[in-house]
Amino acid sequence: MPYTLADVMPSVAASFGLGGPNPLGLEPNRDVVVLLIDGLGAELLARHTDVAPTLAAHVTHTLTAGFPATTATSLASLALGAPCATHGIIGYSFALPDTGNLRLLNSLTWRLDAATGDDARERFPPESVQPRASRLQDLAANGIDVHYVIPAFQRDSGLTRAVFRAAGTLHPAKTLDEVRAGILSVTDHSGTGSRFAYAYFPDLDATGHLFGPESDQWLTVLGQVDAFVAGLLTDLPPTCTLLITGDHGMIHADNVIDLDAQSRLHREVQLIAGEPRVRHVYLERPAALPDVIAAWTAELSTHARVVSREEALDEHWFGPTLPEPVIANRIGDLLAVAKDRTVLVCPAREPLESNLIGHHGAWTSDEQLVPLISSIKTAS
């Protein structure tokens, strides 16, 4: 059975002696740092070991991000140690019930209707949308000192409140130098008490979106990350285990389908959510499902796989166990998952997303597979 992002934090907890499964075989150590490099795909890394020899040399496992392979969903799976069907952050954006209607929540920015819409934290409190305890909360409850090495704005963001949930010490960090300083400040202590840090670096993903994965600009950032990791591995004390992973990989889009321009696809449709590689489609009437699936399949058959919610759940797209009804109802009445390098864009509501070059979310190995890189070899 393949390892997933949801295996990381249960293994960290087990290495601290909290009990439970340790699927990745992490050995005990005083401190653990999990560093997430946004957009670090395993297939992309494997094709560019010359640019990132340090990262490549320290890969211990290849993980599956889970569906959809997108940041908000993956961070929830990581933090909770559970798949999407359990935590309910089922995509980049999805619909929630709101006074008898449906309202779109962008789960990455926690805003209404679009990535730049009104703040949704009052309308949809993060702790209500995702009420389960995180594994970071488990660590804190068992005496592990929790730290965050992240951009300062993320500390109180809706997504952080929804999925990480634990109070902790903030080390504001946007650049690689700041991430390095934050991690070293966490691990430079003489006490016997354990510390855990979650660290995050966004620039590889941002560069891939703007210029494409494997572009010259993307390779430059990958090389910078590799040099940073090489220095960090030298400077970290042996009392710290460093784990590095990604939340998804990325593909370079070369076939753009404008859903806004396809009037046939909007008949009986109330909302289109998700992102260009994975679309959730919510209907005005449940009875219209056969006709809408037929229309979307006819229009997109060579570019996307179109399935009903029930078919996606039957195939366990969102995890091995079926979600509770409140989570299942967040999934579109039908889903359209882009094939190959196709993207399904909605420029009217998503002008920025529709003009990106790099995308992720769907089923290709370039999107789904992420490396687990460790400073210390895991147990066999």
DSSP 25-51: -PPP-SEEEEEEETT--HHHHHTTTTT
How far apart CA 44 and CA 249 sit, in angstroms, is 7
Query: Are residues 136 and 20 located together in one domain of the fold?
Result: yes
Query: Are residues 240 and 269 located together in one domain of the fold?
Result: no
Q: What is the pLDDT of residue 380?
A: 44
| Residue 44 placed within a domain | yes
DSSP 185-245: HHH----SS-EEEEEEE-HHHHHHHHH-TTSHHHHHHHHHHHHHHHHHHHHS-TTEEEEEE
* pLDDT above 70 (res 272): yes
Q: Which helix (H) or strand (E) holds 171?
A: none
| Residue 60 placed within a domain | yes
* pLDDT above 90 (res 378): no
Query: Are residues 259 and 220 located together in one domain of the fold?
Result: no
Query: Are residues 157 and 85 located together in one domain of the fold?
Result: yes
Query: Are residues 367 and 315 located together in one domain of the fold?
Result: no
Collapsing DSSP to helix, strand or coil, 267 comes out as coil
Distance of CA 202 to the CA centre of its chain: 12
CB 366, CB 212: distance < 8 Å: no
CA angle 85–87–90, rounded 5-degree value: 60
Structurally, the chain folds into a number of domains equal to 2
Query: Are residues 370 and 349 located together in one domain of the fold?
Result: no
CATH number at residue 307: 3.30.1360.180
Q: What is the pLDDT of residue 99?
A: 86
State the pLDDT confidence band at 227, using cuts at 50, 70 and 90.
very high
| pTM for this model (two decimals) | 0.97
For 86-143, the pLDDT digits (tens) are 999 999 999 999 988 999 999 999 999 999 999 999 999 999 999 999 999 999 999 9
CA proximity to 37, closest of 12, 11, 13, 63 = 63
| Residue 181 placed within a domain | yes
For 38-68, the pLDDT digits (tens) are 999 999 999 999 999 999 999 999 999 999 9
Q: How many residues in total does the chain contain?
A: 380
Quote the percentage of the chain above a pLDDT of 90: 97
Query: Are residues 177 and 294 located together in one domain of the fold?
Result: no
Residue 269 backbone dihedrals phi, psi, to 5 degrees: -100, 130
